[in-house]
Structure 1
Amino acid sequence: MSRRTSRSTLDRLRTPRGFPGFLKTAGVCVLIAGLLTPLSTTAASAAGTAAATDLCGGQCSDILPPGENGNATLAEIVLNQAFGIQPAHAEDQLGPYANLAGGYSALTTDKINTFFNDASFGVPSGQVASTEKPAGRTDVTIVRDKKTGVPHITGTTRYGTEFGAGYAAAQDRLWLMDVFRHVGRGQLTSFAGGAPANQGLEQQFWRNAPYTEADLQAQIDRAVATNGDRGRQALADAQAYLDGINAYIDASDSGRYFPGEYVLTGHKDAITNAGTIDHFKITDLVALASVIGALFGSGGGGEVNNAVSLLAAQEKYGVEEGTKVWESFRERNDPEAVLTVHDGESFPYATRPADPQGLALPEAGSVSEEPLLYDRTGSATAAAAGKAATAAAQAAVGSARRGMSNALVVSGRHTASGHPVAVFGPQTGYFAPQLLMLQEIQGPGLSARGASFAGLSFYVELGRGQDYAWSATTSGQDIIDTYAVELCQDDHHYLYRGTCTAMQKVEQKNSWKPTVADGTAAGSYTMRVWRTNYGPVTHRATVGGKRVAYTTLRSSYLHEADSIIGFQMLNDPDYVKGPQDFQRAVQHINYTFNWFYADAQHTAYYNSGDNPVRATGVDAEFPVWARPAYEWRGWDPAANTADRTPPAQHPNSVDQDYYVSWNNKVAADYSAAPWGNGSVHRGNLLDDRVKRLVAAGGVTRVALVKAMAEAGLADLRAEDVVPDLLRVVTSSPVTDTTAAAAVSKLQAWAAAGGLRTETSAGSKKYAHADAIRILDAWWPLLVKAVFEPGLGSELYAAFTANLPVDEAPSAGHGPTGSHAGSSFQYGWWSYVDKDIRAVLGEQVRGPLARTYCGGGSLAACRDVLVSTLKEAAGRSAAQVYPGDEHCSAGDQWCADSIVQRTLGGIKHHNISWQNRPTYQQVVEFTSHR
């Protein structure tokens, strides 16, 4: 029986179409309450777990909302949907996480674990909630603690340890794991129904990784074959992990305590228990990894859009001047950008060539996106359904893809204890259940606690070892290139090294029936991708009169399984004994991440990713011809392998005074794939605060948490751009009463720190609410008014396609969508900052090629800003915050609030906005082995 609840009559009820509306009588409610009395499968041990070597001295903490328990039975889903009742440990980390926004200013050392979990190894005897020998095995024990329900897995054999990890993963995330193995195969709608979010998810990911089953298996075979003993061990670990998952599937099926979503989507019958939950297999892990890699670890791309905006700039200004304008907006190596490696060292990669070679720019107006969907029927045929699917996908995964992670790490030279201090973690978005799960794993060759992606948790992926901790942020360097393949014979043949070659057609057919879970009508469609040796086709165009297909090729394509070795090393206490070992471990991770390390003596940084060696003269920003002269050096298309830049050429560092990262520029001269890495970036919010702490000395865990939390409540525009905007506005007396009142409110807010904070904890009302409303309305108005007249409508639209103008917390039109938490990563803050400073007559390093506000005239610029400010001040809260399915119009706090986006049957309450990692650690080790 499950550790969670007893299963009886309710689980045998056939769920009606009106779910959950059948819960209408008090008698049924009492019945359900009685059925949910917890029954333990095994008695709690009188003694806690025997902890492994732990040199953190009680100074390691972590947090991962909403809660560890991501599975719920049908009965638990019914109670949650009808009455808001939460299953045990489904939401108990959400409150502490949310409360830091109101409690950080009064933080003390003894209060840290009010907002975080104690991340020490083991479970004290008084905190043991349950002890379990999964599937009756004698070589592994799963102990769960009372506070969070986190599994602490201890094995006496390697196989048993990994079996326990798989069993615990299925206990906590079986439904989510099943969802994402189907997402990775492009089969989500057939599995979970045709809801718009499901359609959008599978379409978004399958286009980028349209793998066949043979492709998935080949990736495993290659990873094992090329990594010797470690490769063979990784395969054995993965198989043991799968055995644990499948053992739980069998137990939950026979005991009828499997996740209730299987009933709601028609896979199981609540009365007869007919139906099956398919066992997991090794290729499922690669399918899962392909989704995670696409979300977080594949920097670059966008070459076709870059080309379109470059052509628009050249059309507006001429080739030479237009190119200068384009480059100034691209900011690919801006001298004012905040850097993670700031010690003066340069790491040139993917820099702009003096004489670009092989460019294959499309003819104006010739570009069309390659269609993905064919043969649509039923609810998949309507254009509105397609739009809804796209919007739902952006909302569901936008925050994960766009709004990534941050890190603050300070060397022991500048701390009160003399030991390094780190506050860091990944921003994986806010989901219910969460994509990550917590665990501790202790066994032969394994010793770690932390977070792992559900379904890939045979190793801890971000967390701590016995005397060290590590974390990551997305770096985004360019490992993706676009090739123009010349067509021959027809649209599905292309020239490959002089030979007309057929493209490979890969299809995935999906159909679905109406389900209780989504309420949509039946429908079907086929997803089709044409693959070439240069990767999948994404666009069609003409180049110099020739018909071409644009393809996208990333270095991690067909290599989703390769990173397993790096994570294995990070979990091995006999391998990682210092910063150099850590750097060697993460060199095996082929995704584009910034990796951070701290132990009791050292800090370190390394930028991972398989950076391809490009041909001389190739500009990574634009499409190039698919010809041998412009291919990656040493490229083998069969396995998609090529020469990679050596580790020493990747940004790396040991014991720099401090490191910060918030998806900002990594190092001088290093490829920065995202647009907007300029003078104002959200990385400045961290850098400014940590720099001040380091200058003062005596940095503590408390001080670093406060710096992170305050940066996470700051409005980047208010802190770093509004003061200069107001200097222009007040360069002459403001006589208009509406504009003058707005100026006063903005000045007061900026003077108070420009934070989006409540009047008091839990008030759900902002201090400086009017100023916040005014800026939220003003920013998109002023950007358009400042830049569109000079750029022209066509070029302005092209540039905004490369980089949205705004990403405030409530900006549903931004790349993350609304209620996503992560904010201020993408926007025109740097452009406005540089332009306004130029108007004010200041010296600007790396200026825009032209001055736009008022044509460079201070008086004319002031008129533009005053008129747009007056317009913004006149907009009501209901106009600025129009309302949605979560919030009524005009509710400013709710418009900003974070929603845990549902990927299953359990829902959670909104929490106030804060801009911080989802999973986060606070660490300071006291000694070293």
Structure 2
Amino acid sequence: MSRTVALAAVTFALAAAPAAADDYAAVARNIIASGQYGSAPPPPGAEEQALMYDALTPLFDQVTNDDLMTKFKSAGFGVGPDGPARPEPLPRAGVTVVRDRFNVPHITGRSRDDVTWAMGWLLQQDRGLLLAQARDAAKLAALDAPNVYAFGLVINLRQYKPTPEVDRIIERNGLRALREAGAAGRAVLHDVDVYLQGINARLRAEGSTARPWRRADVFAANAVIGEIFGEGGGDEARRSQFLSALRREYGTARGNRMFEDFTSFDDRDAPTTMTRTFRYGTENLDGPGNVVLDAGSFKPTGPRGLASAANVPQWASNFLLVSGRRSATGHPLFVAGPQIGYTYPGLTLEADISWPGGQARGATAPGFAGNILIGRGQDYAWSLTSAGSDVVDTYVETLCGGSRTKYRYKGRCRTMGRVDAGTVTGFGRIAYRTTVHGPVTGYAKVNGRTVAISRKRASFGQDILWQLGFRDLTTGKVRSKGTFRAAMASSPFTFNVGYADDQDIAMYSAGRLPVRPRSVDPRLPVKGTGEYEWRGFLAQSRRPYQANPPSGALVNWNNRPAPGWGAADDNWSYGATQRVRMLDEGLARRGVHDLASVTGAMNAAATQDLRSVALTPVIEKLLRAHPAGATPRASRMLELLVAWRAAGSSRLDREPDGVMDAGPGPAIWDAFYPRLWAAAMPVKGLQDFVGTNSGPASGFTGGGFWYLEKDLGRLTGTRWKSPFKERYCGGGDAARCAAAVWKALDAVPGDPDALRADANAERIAFRPGLLPTTIRYTNRPSGIQQVISFGGGRR
């Protein structure tokens, strides 16, 4: 009987399938480290993609075209070489699913609705465990519930029960946004409703007792992705207290200068993806719309322990786009993907979808109603990195008459709203106040007087509009770099989007970016009395965009998108040193590339230690010029660091035998860095904002090493475009600084030549532990990585 069912399914597939769309890809490969499976316990083969992914890591930059065929799987349309095909009947006429050997579904529908319905069915089938845990927690992201990191509830398996009010708020906001989007919004809402039918049909087929999915669940699924990857700013309260502390410790003038140094708002030495200048934000510490909170005065509302565990944004995704003039084939090369961590079940899953007039393939995610998040069409591909541009502001509300629930806005006292959002098991009730600006996140003092602090997010209530651009990309409406830019202009979230077809490469930095009055410094809280509100949103023409740059490449690793682009208040890492430097240097080694060499540049950077790459030459130059404080041990430490840098600065463990191949170098830098920081950057509290971990655990985004390169570089003769206003190491005296650095190096414990770094401690495990497989440390795309080039296109 099973053979009869299978034969019937194949016969139906052949009868129902439309003519296959033309595929213009010359090469199309991809990999998702977590794979397609999502059940527990993991079935046989669940780790297959993880092992392929891991097999690329030890190749460093020596990647060949054959490696692309064995370390990645096909991203072509249809099952292709990844057979055998396994039909999977669905209870809907007009749609078929065939699984390949990686369990990837190839969905063929007689209409787009058929495909959208099937994507809902398959989401519940392949990610039912994830949905059960994340469905309600995501709603806290849609609400902007204060001091709650919604995704943290998901990965830490916290149970949250919302009130009925929560769904009403989310659905009301989402429907309003879709109505205002006109015909495009109505099309997305239709997709959402069809998608829900598929999810709920699968729940019924499973005999599940879970509540049927509703629109609010889909809207919230988009919101939580925005919370993790698509917003920047909102940390002005904490950072203004730091400014208060600097002024108190060093005096107002010097404290202001130090604040300017640390914020790196418009550092002209920061690497940028584009060469064109786009300006956003103006520094104005003396602006009348600013408020500086008293140091240590902010007290958050709500249960403790539910905020994000990390104070430093750990955005992590990259793309390397090479134009046709630097390509061996004359056509652009596209190596790109999101870094979203390693979980099982994965946060993304793959789909290959086809219907009359449409064909797309790539990673999708919960909430993507019939759409591909990152993937490819017939003749173009796209990917994302988090931009972190400033879409969230903090407002200081003046309280009325000693009340904590009445505030002054536009000349009159108003009563705060109240939201009862439900309970988190073990933490209690999530209930909070709101003002015209948004949720009240806490209370603080300004010159000793109590004020309320509220949070305003430009994308609030707009989360579902994120689907507009992906609908255009998925359905083939995008046909050029210009239509690509127009499609992504609707994104409420802040992302850098990379694009390539057979002729062009392009990047667009999207987001609903508020225009602030010049009387406000975007790094500080804003007076909430009504005079300093946003002046609309940045026009599409003023957001960073560039196609086919003179360099022949567009490379982004969450670095500054363009010259002139101001850093968000929660991002103090737009300094002179950023990890994109390793990708740029990898591409610069060759004038002309193929897909293998571009993949090699990405793969090499994924195991390099940025501290070794960027800081070792500065440290060596400083210490060689001032040898007075050297000891034999410290001198040997320096020699080993220089040798590691010359050998490539990699943390690889190729065998793997649990020990990094590079010898002492990685272990020395790991122990040396915190001592170097203490010696060279003696500013109390700064690491609260940039993190204490400068190494692999931060993805080389934390620890403040960019400050060290700029400050120590000045002492060794580097001329910066944006030099620091203050001197830090040794008070600006090179000899004193060198003596402190020598002492820090000498304080690294152990025999220099015997030191080794434990590679097993850095092996990657899939959270929360359902998949026992671990893989070597690597710092590269995990949600999906595409390796694609097109030889032609629709004309």
Select the residue among 368, 377, 381 that pairs with 1:469: 381
Q: 1:877, 1:891 within 8 Å by CA — same for their partners in 2?
A: no
Map 1:339-378 → 2, pairs under 5 A: 339-342=272-275, 345-353=276-284, 356-370=287-301, 372-373=302-303
| Structure 1 spans left out of the alignment, 5+ residues | 4-38, 78-85, 189-194, 254-274, 374-385, 513-522, 634-642, 817-822, 881-889
C-alpha distance in structure 1 between counterparts of 2:202 and 2:565, whole Å: 46
C-alpha distance in structure 2 between counterparts of 1:425 and 1:279, whole Å: 33
C-alpha distance in structure 2 between counterparts of 1:180 and 1:315, whole Å: 44
Q: Give 1:842 shift.
A: 3.1
C-alpha distance in structure 2 between counterparts of 1:183 and 1:176, whole Å: 11
SS at match of 1:488: coil
Task: Name the counterpart of 2:700.
Answer: 824
Give per-residue Cα distances to partners, 1:237-287, cap 9 Å, x unaligned: 11111111111111122xxxxxxxxxxxxxxxxxxxxx7122211110012
Change (3 A) 1:916 1:551: same
Q: Give the letter for the 2:234 counterpart.
A: G
Map 1:34-73 → 2, pairs under 5 A: 42=6, 45=10, 52-72=20-40
Change (3 A) 1:283 1:202: farther
Q: Give 1:101 shift.
A: 0.8
Task: Name the counterpart of 2:566.
Answer: 671
Map 1:652-671 → 2, pairs under 5 A: 652-656=545-549, 657-671=552-566
Q: 1:403, 1:429 within 8 Å by CA — same for their partners in 2?
A: no
Give per-residue Cα distances to partners, 1:829-882, cap 9 Å, x unaligned: 21111111122233233222222222223322222112111211439999x9xx
Give per-residue Cα distances to partners, 1:574-620, cap 9 Å, x unaligned: x2111000000000111000011000011111111001121232111
Q: 1:734, 1:740 within 8 Å by CA — same for their partners in 2?
A: no
C-alpha distance in structure 1 between counterparts of 2:82 and 2:557, whole Å: 39
SS at match of 2:178: helix
Q: Give 1:170 shift.
A: 1.3
Q: Give the letter for the 2:320 counterpart.
A: L
Q: 1:177, 1:455 within 8 Å by CA — same for their partners in 2?
A: no
Task: Name the counterpart of 2:622.
Answer: 728
Task: Name the counterpart of 1:116.
Answer: 72
Select the residue among 498, 502, 519 that pairs with 2:415: 502
C-alpha distance in structure 2 between counterparts of 1:730 and 1:653, whole Å: 42
Q: 1:602, 1:655 within 8 Å by CA — same for their partners in 2?
A: yes
After superposing the two structures, state which structure 1 stretch, 278-287 or 48-57, moved more. Answer: 48-57
Give per-residue Cα distances to partners, 1:410-435, cap 9 Å, x unaligned: 11111111100011111111111111
Map 1:525-924 → 2, pairs under 5 A: 525-573=428-476, 575-633=477-535, 643-656=536-549, 657-673=552-568, 674-693=571-590, 696=591, 698-731=592-625, 732=627, 736-758=631-653, 760-788=654-682, 791=683, 796-797=684-685, 799-809=686-696, 811=697, 816=698, 823-874=699-750, 892-902=758-768, 906-918=770-782, 919-924=784-789
Q: 1:69, 1:88 within 8 Å by CA — same for their partners in 2?
A: no
C-alpha distance in structure 1 between counterparts of 2:545 and 2:622, whole Å: 41
SS at match of 1:667: coil
Task: Name the counterpart of 1:332.
Answer: 265
Q: 1:60, 1:119 within 8 Å by CA — same for their partners in 2?
A: yes
After superposing the two structures, state which structure 1 stretch, 624-633 or 198-207, moved more. Answer: 198-207
- Normalising by structure 2, report the TM-score: 0.92
Change (3 A) 1:495 1:899: same
After superposing the two structures, state which structure 1 stretch, 535-544 or 112-121, moved more. Answer: 535-544
SS at match of 1:241: helix
Select the residue among 40, 53, 70 that pairs with 1:97: 53
Q: Give the letter for the 1:251 counterpart.
A: A
Change (3 A) 1:218 1:197: closer
Q: Give the letter for the 1:720 counterpart.
A: A
Task: Name the counterpart of 2:355.
Answer: 443
Q: 1:51, 1:122 within 8 Å by CA — same for their partners in 2?
A: no
Q: Give 1:895 shift.
A: 1.7
C-alpha distance in structure 2 between counterparts of 1:464 and 1:604, whole Å: 15
C-alpha distance in structure 2 between counterparts of 1:353 and 1:572, whole Å: 45
SS at match of 1:247: helix
Change (3 A) 1:197 1:321: closer
C-alpha distance in structure 2 between counterparts of 1:230 and 1:676, whole Å: 37
Q: 1:651, 1:667 within 8 Å by CA — same for their partners in 2?
A: yes
Change (3 A) 1:133 1:226: farther
Change (3 A) 1:126 1:347: closer
Map 1:156-555 → 2, pairs under 5 A: 156-186=110-140, 198=153, 212-253=166-207, 276-342=209-275, 345-353=276-284, 356-370=287-301, 372-373=302-303, 394=309, 402-444=314-356, 446-489=358-401, 490-510=403-423, 523=426, 525-555=428-458
Q: 1:63, 1:116 within 8 Å by CA — same for their partners in 2?
A: yes
Q: Give 1:354 shift.
A: 7.7
| Structure 2 spans left out of the alignment, 5+ residues | 143-149
Q: Give 1:227 shift.
A: 2.5
Q: Give the letter for the 1:496 counterpart.
A: Y
Change (3 A) 1:734 1:744: farther
Task: Name the counterpart of 2:146.
Answer: none
Give per-residue Cα distances to partners, 1:52-105, cap 9 Å, x unaligned: 324344401111112101123xxxx2xxxxxxxx40442211001111111344
SS at match of 1:507: strand
Q: Give 1:444 shift.
A: 4.6
After superposing the two structures, state which structure 1 stretch, 727-736 or 421-430, moved more. Answer: 727-736
Task: Name the counterpart of 1:191.
Answer: none
Q: Give 1:556 shift.
A: 0.5
C-alpha distance in structure 1 between counterparts of 2:158 and 2:264, whole Å: 31
Q: Give 1:524 shift.
A: 5.9
Q: 1:184, 1:206 within 8 Å by CA — same for their partners in 2?
A: no
Q: 2:421, 2:429 within 8 Å by CA — same for their partners in 1?
A: yes
C-alpha distance in structure 2 between counterparts of 1:712 and 1:97, whole Å: 12
C-alpha distance in structure 1 between counterparts of 2:112 and 2:486, whole Å: 23
C-alpha distance in structure 1 between counterparts of 2:640 and 2:353, whole Å: 53
Q: Give 1:291 shift.
A: 0.9
Change (3 A) 1:50 1:94: farther
Task: Name the counterpart of 1:144.
Answer: 99
Task: Name the counterpart of 1:257.
Answer: none
Count of residues in correspondence between the two structures: 776
In percent, how many aligned pairs have the same letter? 32
C-alpha distance in structure 2 between counterparts of 1:202 and 1:877, whole Å: 44
Q: Give 1:113 shift.
A: 2.3
C-alpha distance in structure 2 between counterparts of 1:362 and 1:394, whole Å: 23
C-alpha distance in structure 2 between counterparts of 1:166 and 1:492, whole Å: 43
Q: Give 1:128 shift.
A: 3.9
Aligned-residue Cα RMSD (Å) equals: 3.0
Change (3 A) 1:618 1:50: same
Q: Give the letter for the 1:410 counterpart.
A: V
Give per-residue Cα distances to partners, 1:744-794, cap 9 Å, x unaligned: 221221110111112x33333211232211110110111011121xx3xxx
C-alpha distance in structure 2 between counterparts of 1:713 and 1:749, whole Å: 13
